[in-house]
Amino acid sequence: MPRWSADDIAWGAFDRNKIDRDLLSVIKAASLTEYNAAHYTHYLKNIFADDLVFHAALSEWQSEEEQHGRMLARYARMADPQFDFAGAFQSFTDGYQIPLDARESVRGSKVGELVARCIVETGTSSFYTALSEATREPVLKQLCRRIAADEFRHYRTFLGGLQRYQALQPVSILTRLKVVIGRLRETEDDELAFAYHCANEAGLAYDRARCIRVYGKRAYSVYRPRHAEQVVRMTFRASGLKPQGWLPMLVGKWAWRKLRQRANASMH
């Protein structure tokens, strides 16, 4: 069961004058990807078919992710009553699908799968943290703080599973790093770009390259150097590397430059 509900949000504090339309377009996209957790849960339960304890954790994860989607959609409708969440979600799931029939991880091992999940939770926790600090709209700030806390907890859940499976079926740091790099490259795949399109461009043709640029420009604009450093520390931990020292500090500076490049990308 989720650890908070709609009743914990002061919806009456909503201030229409403080809506940022660019951030709203990103929130609409996020409502679709968050609500799509059932597909990922199905896939992960196939991969970890013999681990019923982990199944329970996955069910809890699904419930919380779906709540994130519902709450973000509710907020988006407050800010834009024309937002058709149901229609956008249907378009998204019709056009973007993951391998639900897979019995083996697409990452090559169970450890690899859990590394990839840690990277996803690293991205979401840092994004909602950055967004909660960037937005001036009170309700969105509340929502993002709640969601960020959930995402950090999800990271710890997957990291705990990773450490347990690493002890049983060891995977080298190099192999884990390859999974990390592969998953980071997937931030430019169709999931986020197509979600952005479905949530904001009903009736228009899907232009993948443009949607990647537009989504990146709007989403990454909320990040600050401390968020990039946080991403690197969490990524190092999932990779099996020490999250403190000169190397993560150096990589953190590089990550910040990359985020700024994405945020400053031309939309033309």
Model confidence pLDDT, tens digit, residues 13-38: 999 999 999 999 999 999 999 999 99
Closest CA to 89 of 30, 139, 146, 43: 30
The structure's pTM equals 0.94
Q: Is the dihedral of CA 202, 207, 214, 145 positive or negative?
A: positive
Report the distance separating Cα 213 and Cα 220, nearest Å: 10
Q: Going from the N-terminus, what domains does the chain have, and what CATH number goes with each?
A: 19-207 (1.10.620.20)
Report the distance separating Cα 145 and Cα 232, nearest Å: 20
Question: If you ran DSSP here, which 8-state letter would residue 206 be given?
Answer: P
Q: What is the mean predicted confidence (pLDDT) over 194-219?
A: 93
The yes-or-no verdict on residue 52 having pLDDT over 60 is: yes
The yes-or-no verdict on residue 268 having pLDDT over 80 is: no
Contact indicator for 196, 249 with CB cutoff of 8 Å = no
Q: What is residue 187's predicted lDDT score, i.e. its pLDDT? A: 67
Model confidence pLDDT, tens digit, residues 132-178: 999 999 999 999 999 999 999 999 999 999 999 999 999 999 999 99
Both tokens assigned to 257 = 């430059």
CA 124 from centre of chain:
4
Of 37-51, 136-150, 178-192, the one with minimum mean pLDDT is 178-192
| Percentage of residues in the chain having pLDDT higher than 70 | 98
Closest CA to 227 of 255, 248, 199: 255
Q: pLDDT band at residue 190, thresholds of 50, 70 and 90?
A: confident
Summary mean pLDDT of the chain: 93
